[in-house]
Amino acid sequence: MSNLVDLTKKPYNLDQEAIDWVENTLKNMSLDEKIGQLFVNMGAERTEEYLTGVMDDYHIAAVRYNKGPATEVYDQNYILQTQSEIPLLIAANTEAGGDGAVTDGTKVGDEIKVAATNDPKYAYELGKVSGIEASAVGCNASFAPIVDLTRNWRNPIIANRTWSDDVDQTIELSKEYMKGIMEHNIIPFAKHFPGDGIDERDHHLSYASNRQTKEEWMETFGRIYGELADAGLPGIMAGHIHLPNVEKEMHPDRELDEMLPASLNKTLLDELLRGELGYNGAIVTDASHMVAMTAAMPRREMVPTAIEAGCDLFLFFNDPDEDFQWMKEGYENGLLTEERLHDAIRRTLGLKAKVGLHKFEGRREEIMMPKEEAMAQINTEESQAIADEVADKAITLVKDKQEDIFPVTPERYKRILIVDVEGQQGGFGAMIAGDKKRASDKMKEILEERGHEVSVWESTEERIMKLPKEEQAAAIANVYAQKQPISNLTDNYDLILNLVDVNSGGTVQRIVWPAAKGTPDQPFYVHEVPTIVVSIQHPFALADMPQVGTYINAYDGMDNTLEALAAKLAGESEFTGVSPVDAEVSELLDTKIWRKSTY
């Protein structure tokens, strides 16, 4: 027997009128409509023809769309809500602010940046800004906050997207975010259950595992999800993450090869989350194209198995006709039981009633505020002021071992060399970033306005790629002969500023050093020229360059962050940020291998 929903209890707390709407809506559904209510569609277009076609053909419960300008997203969501048979859940990814809902929204900052302010009010403000801007364009759900723990600095997915490595801080800031966004009638789905940040593999592309024992898990992620459930968390996203040691303790006879990721695992969702932790809310799968899910079993089985395991919403069709048919077949052949099917639909309809969608029957156009009023909510001066405050307060001076390095003024350091330090390049990410202005270009502008003479280092690879093709091979072969006198640096520059732009979300979150030797790409010259390293993305760049004496985490390269950084370098503003993670990666000095070598 599965743990069935109680719509009178939190997070729903529905009155009888709302419960009657849920039950009557379910009672009047055809089988195809019930099957459709299990799916979240990723919109491919914003045309009325496409949107109404998806709703008519597949009876979807929800949408998570590709973001675009606020005016376009508003029009899209107006069509969805006014022409759907049942009101829709419309979700955005407001992890860092309203920019997760619309491209012209306010980016306050990734969670770790907000946490580094060391003031919980900014987690509330992040939720508030997200809620204002997402609800303005018709969203009523968000796949945030991220409540993973950054316990493995090599993890490429959540290093700057989640709050902290600390359980209490994660709970506190997540509650503040929830409060801020729920005040604007947005349903938060915390992610990624049962907890990322322990493994270093990317579950988009590979098996990913949380290897904690049950005792360890209950003291960390179990506490997080349990306390957030007590606080009324309405939604959870099930990650494609295994929890093998916990599952083994719960079912000692089970072999590792039999264990499934949480999104397909009844033990983890029904027995552990809903059973032991008492969670009564709704569960959505993480995206179903991710390898850790889709490679777990044939997709024909995987689609209905996700719902039978305890998920209530299946995130994204692969092929709509196939997935819809396979879900229906799963129900008809008993893989998906009627009890679980109806419980899933009740939970989703319960969310819709929780945000009051049932009250707009016959006047659906009133679900959304008037467009002119909505557009006035996007990227306001008040929201941008919050983003500016976060940018100023978050910047963290992690390592300060160079005596008298500050202030960075033209009188002390007239000639500055900025060096871009990057990570793995390639794929669509590199193509999208190709036209993006580098942070080094903006930093050059800022420093020049302050009276410095600034050069940006052009890497050996960049110079070679500009050569005629017939000359490139010889130039590459000659890379190792590119060594040069140290005086080329000491005679020409007073300070070198390394900007590390290695974004989390790639397969590998590490600096990729170029093959060239003796060039400024790698800071070998820390005892020759005053050197400052600033990471403008993930917070663990120091692990790859522990030789540097001055290391700063800025958490992103937004204009307001770089302006605040320049003021701090110049001594006009204090470094007040407090790192929410072990940014110095002290584990590198605390391994069994190192301890043995000291004997």
Catalytic residues: 286
Nearest to 96 by CA among 547, 504, 535: 504
Helix (H, G, I), strand (E, B) or coil at 551: strand
User: What is the distance between the alpha carbons of residues 565 and 522, in angstroms, rounded to a whole number?
Assistant: 22
Question: Coil, strand, or helix at residue 163?
Answer: coil
Contacts for 6 with CB less than 8 Å, ≥ 6 apart: 12, 280
Structure-token pair, residue 150: 């950054």
Tell me the two tokens of residue 373.
């009023």
Three-state DSSP string of 200-262: CCCCCCCCCECCCCHHHHHHCHHHHHHHHHHCCCCEEEECCCECHHHHHHHCCCCCHHHCCCH
Helical H runs in 277-434? 291-294, 299-309, 320-332, 338-354, 371-375, 381-394, 427-433
Strand partners, 190: 236
Q: How many Å apart are CA 548 and CA 500, to the nearest integer?
A: 13
Sheet holding 453-456, edge to edge: 396-400, 550-553, 531-535, 495-501, 415-422, 453-456
Which amino acid would we find at residue 86? I
Q: Could you say which DSSP state residue 542 is in? A: G
Query: What's phi and psi for 537, nearest 5 deg?
Result: -145, -110
**Alpha-carbon gap, residue 15 to 447, rounded angstroms:** 60
